[in-house]
Each structure stands twice: as C-alpha cells, then as structure tokens.
Homo-oligomer: A and B are copies of this chain.
Amino acid sequence: MTIDPRSHTPVYVQLADLLRERIEAGELAPGSALPSEARMTQEYGVGREAVRMSISLLRSEGLVNTVRGHGTYVRELPQRRQVEVPPGASVVARMPSGRERRAMQLDEGVPVLEIRDAKGDVEVLAGDEVELTRPA
C-alpha cells in the first residue's frame, strides 16, 4: 500500500490509514513512538501539513497521544473497570466539549458516557476507562 496524490481521498487520510494499519498490526506497538514529522515527510513523500493532519486524525480516534517536545506515541489503553447500568437509567455516548476534556484531563479522541439515572441525576465518565454491564 502506498500514497497516491491524485486519489480523491485526501493524502492525509491515506497516510492516517497507513499508520493505523501499522498500529493495528502491532508493528507500532502501544507505548512506542511514531516516526518524527520530518521523517514521515521524507519517507512518504508528502508535506508537513499532511503529516500533521494525519497525526491529528489518529489523535481524534484515540489511537495516539502527542507529547510536545518529545514525540507522538501509540496510546496504551487503560484497563476498563466495569460499571453497572442502574435499573431505570439511560446512557448516551458523545465527544466531550473542550471545557470538559480539559477538566477531566482526557486525551483527544476519548468519548464520554453520560449516565442519567432514574432520579434524573447525571454522571459523566471517561469512555476509555469504562465497560458498562447489565447483570443477567
């Protein structure tokens, strides 16, 4: 698989697809660093903007995490703790607002779960730390 600048799918989407494959194949293991921006512009023959946008896309998918002045790393996903959905409750998944994300110290690309119980009380949980359950 390689990058075709004349394709109708944007270059940065193609590059993100390539990197995603390498991550999901385990070639880029959790905790390991992605190649630097400069390297990727050379290796893939694309512009810096394309590299940066592809990384931004992977961040929004929760796949990688960028540390300023250090590099971009494949995210290690925290173990999910089990949370029971209370009887009579409803749950909605959505992306956090910028304010919420900063307040809850969430990485980019991490959804939240909004649990509204029978009394109408609302609780917001980090979506990557939780596995909802309903007992049999």
Contacts and interface: CB of A to CB of B under 8 A. Distances in A.
Interface of A: 10, 13, 16-17, 20, 24, 53, 56-57, 59-63, 68, 80, 82, 85-99, 108-113, 118, 127-128, 130-136
A134 B97 contact: no
A94 B77 CA distance: 11
Contacts of A135: 87-88
B108 A60 contact: yes
Nearest to A101: B61
Among A61, A63, A127, A128: residue with most chain B CB under 10 A: A61
Given A20-B97, A98-B13, A111-B111, A90 B57 contact: no
